Structures are given as structure tokens and as C-alpha cells.
């Protein structure tokens, strides 16, 4: 049925779908909260009618387009009463398929740009073997989706980077590229950095033809209009009002500068940490590729690589100027970094170091496998496993009188929420410490003085507990009197004592003292991590149970 190149492409795509779906289903660990709270949680909330919308959604800071992809999965589960397994894993399967499409387009893009199928195969192999891709790509981050859209849009983008004529210009492919790029920009506004550069280059290449320049401008305007209308309709269906999240995003991050509330990093962060982390075992050959890409390469290919370098440099520079930084923010550059990595591998295998290269490559592959296994199966596995443990316990001991209550005295958003618990308010009352930013501030000058609920808890454990919880022991009462606090809880974050209380290990001794001579006993503990950049999350998760 499939012959020649079609059969090869079919086999490659089939392998990628199987591999990335397996990859997605195999992940048992936590990376960052946005994977759940900014994608799956709003989709779950829309379909099932319960969950938690973070502040980004209440102030319409994000576009609903990417989360909307998971709405049909949840709707099918709800409408046909499909089992919980599909609620948990259906989104993973969909994300795995999305990533497989992206990687297949990366193979085709490399082949199209460089007319070199062997290089395209090598880039694809590097992508599949990348431990960071295995760890991050199939997670439901908008950055992963943005990366896929960037690859696909780049594939349909005019590939001649020297001179463009009307005859070789494919308006259909260009329109496809623009529409996909538009969706990418609405999903992740910073994606506009890439497409502003690519658009400027395209316009410059068409200056010798007034007709072509007109076609480019008119097509661009039309596609931007279509993408804007489409995205606005999607957001209206979710928010029930017309809004423009892109404007709100710019206001929050750049005009008010409130993004720094979630952390500020040195401007060298992406150079000394970001790139090394997302490249990991690819890094040595990536550096070789950067240093040698002009050697034994055609003039046309060197020009293309130069443009990719300039685009990446501009992207890194702008992101380095933004105070809040995260590894995954530069993920859309990873596919292009892999092209340079492939060139580095090829150069090393044909250099005087080819013998040592043949020794190093298997070692790097083995180390990649170790990293992929450890970070997808072990590191931060507890915060995922605890949702299954608590869910099964709650369902097995369901009370008809009141919902089972669970409280997380942990840094905010340390676990997934209803995308994993999937327990209605009648079944469970689950609360956690919040960390909402100071939206009332007009600029970032006063950020240093603002403390959210999570900050207040870790700043002064005893004071927070006495102000926001009822006293349940003589020790707590005596301490309250010594601190001259009112008898009743007067804090802004009052919580009732739950049936199950969860903390991280570093608070274990403190909490043991606090709960001494109460109805609480240590019920279970789950391994989470041996190390963590946030010391508050290091070690096991401890679960206390209230014995009635």
C-alpha cells in the first residue's frame, strides 16, 4: 500500500506515535505545576463543573485554546461514563500524539531545509533519545504545544532564505504557516519573538517584487485576523464574555512587571542553566555543532543555519531581559538546537576524534536512559502517587454524612488537583495553601513586602497555625496565650482541621510537636525526592489522619 518515501514516512510516524504515547503514559513524576493547573484543570472544570481555576484564569490572563484540546477527552469520559483510567490517561495519550506529530514534522522540516535525509534521521534520533524530551515533551505544558506549533509552522514557512520570487511562493503553505504561528502566539505570546524575526526576513526577501510584498502583507493581515477571531471565539466560550488574554498577559508581565513575584533570575540564567538543562547529554555535540557548522556545508545551508542562530540569539536575549525565567520557556528553540547537535555528531564522527566519539556516544545514550528513568519514575513521584492513594482511600471509606476533607500544608500547587483526584465536592473537600500574586499593585516596587498565604505559613509556622486554625490541644492554647493572640482564629486564611493532613518531611518534627496529644496520628508516608531546588519539598510526604 505504501511505497518508497511514503512507506518510510508512515513507518516513522507510526513509531513516533507509539513511542510518545508510551512515553506520556509511563511518566509517574511531577515537574512543574502548570502541567496540571494551567491546562488540565480548566478543561476538567469546564466539563465536570468542579475543580479550581487559578488566578490566571479569573483575570483572563491565558488563552483557552490549548486546554480546549482536552475538553473532548473529558466530555467523552463524562458523557459515556468511561472509567477513571481514561480521565487520568486520555489527556496523556492525546498529548503523546501531538508530540509525535511535532517530531515527525521536525524530521520533514530538517529534510526540507537541508535536502539531506540522513541529517533529518539523525536529528530525529537525537530528539527521541533526548532525556529532557522524554521527561518534559509529553507533559501538558503550553511550552510543549508551542514547540510543536513552531516546528509545524516552520515547515510550511518559505524555506528560501536568500531571495524569494513570486513564482516559488506558495500562498497556501504560507497561509497555513501564519495560522499555526498565530495560534502559537495566542497560546504563548512570547512565541511572537520567533515569528516577528521570520516575518521581517520574509518581507526583506520580497522587497524586489512589489506584487510579492503585497501578497505577503495581505495574506499576513488576513491570517492574523482569522486567528484573532478564532481565538476570541474560543475564549468567549470559556469565559462567557469577550476578552483579550494577550493584552492582559502583556499588562501583567511587562507593564506592571508582576511576573517577578514568582522568582527572579540572573540574566545569564538561560546560558549557564537553561540550555545545559534542556540539552543535557546533547550538550557536548551541540557545542561542537555551533563551532563547526560552517565546515563542509553548502553556502545555502550555512545561510539557513545563520538565520536560525540569529533567531535563537534574539529569542534568548529578550527572554534574558525578562526577570522571571524557567527552563521550559526556551523549549521552542530545542528543535533547532538539535539540528546543530546533529551537525556536531556528524562532524565528530568524521574527524580525527571519531574513535573516541564512537566510545562516547554509547556512554551518553546509557546516561540518557538513566536520567530519563530516574526523573520520570523516581524523582518527585510522591506528589503524584499521593493523589492515587488518597483518592482510593476516600472512595473506599466514603461517608454519606459529609465529604472527606484533605488539607495540604505544602508549597502551593505541589500536587495535581481534580485532573487526578476527580472527586466531586460531595465526595471530598480538598484545600491547599495558595500563592496568588498581589494583583492590586500597579507595579513591582512593593512586591518585596507582599506575603501570600504560603509565605505566611513558612515565615512563622506557629503564628500562622494559631491565627488560621482552631486550638485542639493544651499546648496550642498555652502558646496562644503566651503570644497574646485572641482565643478564636482571626486569620485571613482560616481552615478547618481536615480528616487527612499532608506535609513535606522537613516539617515533620515541627508538626509532630504541634499535633501531640491530639486526635491526629501519623497515617502514611510516601517517598518523593532525595533532593530538590526548593528545600521545602525535599524528602517524603507525610500524611496525618484524624481519628474520630
User: Which of 356, 377, 398 is the last residue in one of the domains?
Assistant: 377
In this structure, are 447 and 309 located in the same domain? no
State the pLDDT at residue 407: 98
User: Which of 343, 377, 411 is the last residue in one of the domains?
Assistant: 377
DSSP secondary structure letters along 427-444: TEEEEE------TT-SSS
39-59 residue pLDDT tens: 999 999 999 999 999 999 999
Cβ neighbours for 337, distance < 8 A, ≥ 6 positions apart:
275, 278, 279, 282, 286, 312
- How many folded domains does the chain comprise? 2
In this structure, are 348 and 449 located in the same domain? no
In this structure, are 372 and 389 located in the same domain? no
In this structure, are 110 and 251 located in the same domain? yes
In this structure, are 226 and 130 located in the same domain? yes
In this structure, are 306 and 262 located in the same domain? yes
Low-confidence stretches of the chain (pLDDT beneath 70):
1-5, 160-167, 400, 442-446, 489
- Cα of 83 vs its chain's centroid, Å: 26
In this structure, are 211 and 162 located in the same domain? yes
State the pLDDT at residue 1: 44
In this structure, are 172 and 321 located in the same domain? yes
Residue 470 sits in which domain range?
A: 382-546
User: Which of 357, 377, 397 is the last residue in one of the domains?
Assistant: 377
In this structure, are 320 and 463 located in the same domain? no
State the pLDDT at residue 48: 97
Let me know: does 322 contact 259? Beta carbons within 8 Å: yes
In this structure, are 139 and 265 located in the same domain? yes
Question: What are the C-alpha distances in Å from 2 to residues 7, 11, 19, 107, 486?
Answer: 4, 10, 21, 19, 78
Cβ neighbours for 371, distance < 8 A, ≥ 6 positions apart:
131, 135, 280, 281
Return the closest-CA partner of residue 405 out of 424, 431, 383: 431
In this structure, are 310 and 178 located in the same domain? yes
In this structure, are 220 and 343 located in the same domain? yes
Amino acid at each position: 500500500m505504501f511505497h518508497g518515501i511514503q512507506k518510510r514516512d508512515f513507518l516513522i510516524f507510526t513509531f513516533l506515535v507509539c513511542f510518545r504515547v508510551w512515553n506520556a503514559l509511563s511518566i509517574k513524576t511531577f515537574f512543574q505545576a502548570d502541567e496540571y493547573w494551567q491546562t488540565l484543570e480548566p478543561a476538567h472544570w469546564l466539563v465536570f463543573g468542579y475543580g479550581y481555576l487559578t488566578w490566571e484564569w479569573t483575570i483572563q490572563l491565558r488563552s483557552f485554546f490549548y486546554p480546549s484540546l482536552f475538553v473532548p477527552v473529558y466530555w467523552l469520559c463524562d458523557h459515556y461514563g468511561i472509567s477513571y483510567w481514561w480521565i487520568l490517561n486520555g489527556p496523556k495519550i492525546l498529548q503523546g500524539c501531538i508530540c509525535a506529530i511535532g517530531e515527525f514534522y521536525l524530521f520533514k522540516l530538517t529534510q526540507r531545509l537541508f535536502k539531506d535525509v540522513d541529517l533529518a534521521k539523525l536529528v530525529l534520533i537525537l530528539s527521541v533519545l533526548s532525556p529532557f524530551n522524554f521527561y518534559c515533551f509529553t507533559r501538558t505544558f503550553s511550552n510543549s504545544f508551542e514547540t510543536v506549533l513552531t516546528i509545524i509552522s516552520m515547515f510550511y514557512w518559505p524555506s528560501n532564505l536568500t531571495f524569494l520570487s513570486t513564482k516559488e511562493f506558495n500562498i497556501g503553505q504560507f497561509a497555513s504557516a501564519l495560522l499555526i504561528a498565530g495560534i502559537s502566539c495566542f497560546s504563548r505570546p512570547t512565541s511572537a519573538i520567533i515569528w516577528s524575526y521570520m516575518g521581517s526576513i520574509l518581507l526583506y526577501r520580497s522587497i524586489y517584487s512589489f506584487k510579492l510584498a503585497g501578497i505577503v502583507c495581505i495574506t499576513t493581515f488576513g491570517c492574523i485576523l482569522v486567528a484573532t477571531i478564532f481565538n476570541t471565539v474560543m475564549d468567549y466560550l470559556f469565559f462567557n464574555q469577550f476578552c483579550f488574554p494577550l493584552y492582559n498577559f502583556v499588562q501583567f508581565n511587562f507593564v506592571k512587571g508582576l511576573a517577578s513575584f514568582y522568582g527572579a533570575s540572573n540574566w545569564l540564567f538561560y546560558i549557564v542553566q537553561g540550555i545545559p538543562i534542556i540539552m543535557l547529554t546533547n550538550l557536548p555535540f551541540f557545542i561542537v555543532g555551533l563551532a563547526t557548522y560552517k565546515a563542509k556545508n553548502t553556502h545555502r545551508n550555512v545561510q539557513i543555519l545563520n538565520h536560525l542562530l540569529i533567531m535563537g540569539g534574539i529569542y534568548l536575549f529578550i527572554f534574558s531581559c525578562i526577570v522571571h525565567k524557567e527552563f521550559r520557556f526556551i523549549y521552542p528553540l530545542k528543535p533547532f538546537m538539535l539540528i546543530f547537535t546533529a551537525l556536531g555528531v556528524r562532524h565528530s564522527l568524521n574527524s580525527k576524534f571519531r574513535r573516541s566519539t564512537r566510545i562516547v556516544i554509547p556512554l551518553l545514550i546509557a546516561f540518557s536512559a538513566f536520567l530519563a528513568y530516574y526523573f520520570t519514575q523516581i524523582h518527585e513521584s510522591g506528589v503524584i502517587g499521593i493523589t492515587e492513594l488518597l483518592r482510593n482511600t476516600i472512595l473506599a471509606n466514603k461517608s454519606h454524612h459529609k465529604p472527606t476533607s484533605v488539607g495540604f500544608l505544602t508549597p502551593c500547587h505541589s500536587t495535581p488537583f481534580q485532573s487526578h483526584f476527580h472527586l466531586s465536592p460531595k465526595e471530598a473537600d480538598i484545600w491547599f495553601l495558595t500563592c496568588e500574586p498581589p494583583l492590586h499593585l500597579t507595579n513591582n516596587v512593593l512586591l518585596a513586602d507582599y506575603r501570600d498565604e504560603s509565605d505566611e505559613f513558612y515565615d512563622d509556622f506557629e503564628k500562622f497555625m494559631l491565627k488560621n486554625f482552631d486550638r485542639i490541644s493544651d499546648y496550642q492554647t498555652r502558646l496562644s496565650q503566651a503570644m497574646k493572640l485572641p482565643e478564636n482564629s482571626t486569620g485571613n486564611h482560616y481552615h478547618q482541621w481536615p480528616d487527612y493532613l499532608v506535609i513535606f518531611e522537613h516539617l515533620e518534627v515541627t508538626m509532630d510537636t504541634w499535633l501531640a496529644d491530639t486526635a491526629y496520628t501519623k497515617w502514611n508516608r510516601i517517598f518523593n525526592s532525595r533532593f530538590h531546588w526548593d528545600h521545602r519539598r525535599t524528602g517524603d510526604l507525610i500524611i496525618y489522619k484524624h481519628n474520630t
